Amino acid sequence: MEVKFSSWVLIFLLCNLTFSTISAFRLSRSQPTERISGSAGDVLEDNPVGRLKVFVYELPSKYNKKILQKDPRCLTHMFAAEIYMQRFLLSSPVRTLNPEEADWFYVPVYTTCDLTPNGLPLPFKSPRMMRSAIQLIASNWPYWNRTEGADHFFVVPHDFGACFHYQEEKAIGRGILTLLQRATLVQTFGQRNHVCLKEGSITVPPYAPPQKMQSHLIPEKTPRSIFVYFRGLFYDVGNDPEGGYYARGARAAVWENFKDNPLFDISTEHPTTYYEDMQRAIFCLCPLGWAPWSPRLVEAVIFGCIPVIIADDIVLPFADAIPWEEIGVFVDEKDVPYLDTILTSIPPEVILRKQRLLANPSMKQAMLFPQPAQPGDAFHQVLNGLARKLPHERSVYLRPGEKMLNWTAGPVADLKPW
Quick: pLDDT tens for 158-194. Answer: 999 999 998 899 999 999 999 999 999 999 999 999 9
- Gap between the Cα atoms of 30 and 399, Å rounded: 60
Residues of the chain under the 50 pLDDT cut? 1-30
Q: Where are the beta strands (DSSP E) in 202-243?
A: 202-203, 226-231
- Gap between the Cα atoms of 293 and 188, Å rounded: 7
Helix, strand, coil distribution of the chain in percent, nearest 5: 40, 10, 50
Task: Give the pLDDT of residue 36.
Answer: 67
Domains within the chain, CATH numbers bracketed: 41-207+377-391+409-414 (no CATH), 210-367 (3.40.50.2000)
Rounded to two decimals, the pTM is 0.90
- Gap between the Cα atoms of 229 and 235, Å rounded: 17
3-state secondary structure of 361: helix
- Gap between the Cα atoms of 298 and 78, Å rounded: 11
Task: Give the pLDDT of residue 31.
Answer: 53
Task: Give the pLDDT of residue 13.
Answer: 38
Task: Give the pLDDT of residue 28.
Answer: 33
Q: Where are the beta strands (DSSP E) in 213-272?
A: 226-231, 264-267
CA distance from start to end of the chain: 59
- 129, 189, 350, 370 from 76: Cα distances, Å: 22, 19, 35, 12
Q: Exposed, middle or buried by CB within 10 Å (0-12, 13-18, 19+), for 13?
A: exposed
Single-letter residue type at 355: Q
- 168, 271, 301, 351, 372 from 276: Cα distances, Å: 33, 10, 14, 20, 25
Task: Give the pLDDT of residue 40.
Answer: 60
Task: Give the pLDDT of residue 20.
Answer: 34
Q: For residues 287 and 251, is the Cβ–Cβ distance under 8 A?
A: yes
- Gap between the Cα atoms of 51 and 386, Å rounded: 9
Phi first, then psi, for residue 234 (nearest 5°) are -110, -30
Q: For residues 359 and 327, is the Cβ–Cβ distance under 8 A?
A: no
Q: For residues 187 and 204, is the Cβ–Cβ distance under 8 A?
A: yes
- Gap between the Cα atoms of 411 and 231, Å rounded: 38
- Element housing 296 (H / E): helix 296-302
Single-letter residue type at 160: F
Rounded to 10°, the helix 81-90/378-387 angle is: 70
Q: What is the pLDDT of residues 183-242, one digit of tens each?
A: 999 999 999 999 999 999 999 999 999 999 999 999 988 999 999 999 999 999 888 877
3-state secondary structure of 292: coil
- 12, 165, 198, 245, 271 from 192: Cα distances, Å: 35, 18, 9, 19, 34
Task: Give the pLDDT of residue 34.
Answer: 80
Mean pLDDT rounded to a whole number for the chain: 90
Q: For residues 171 and 196, is the Cβ–Cβ distance under 8 A?
A: yes
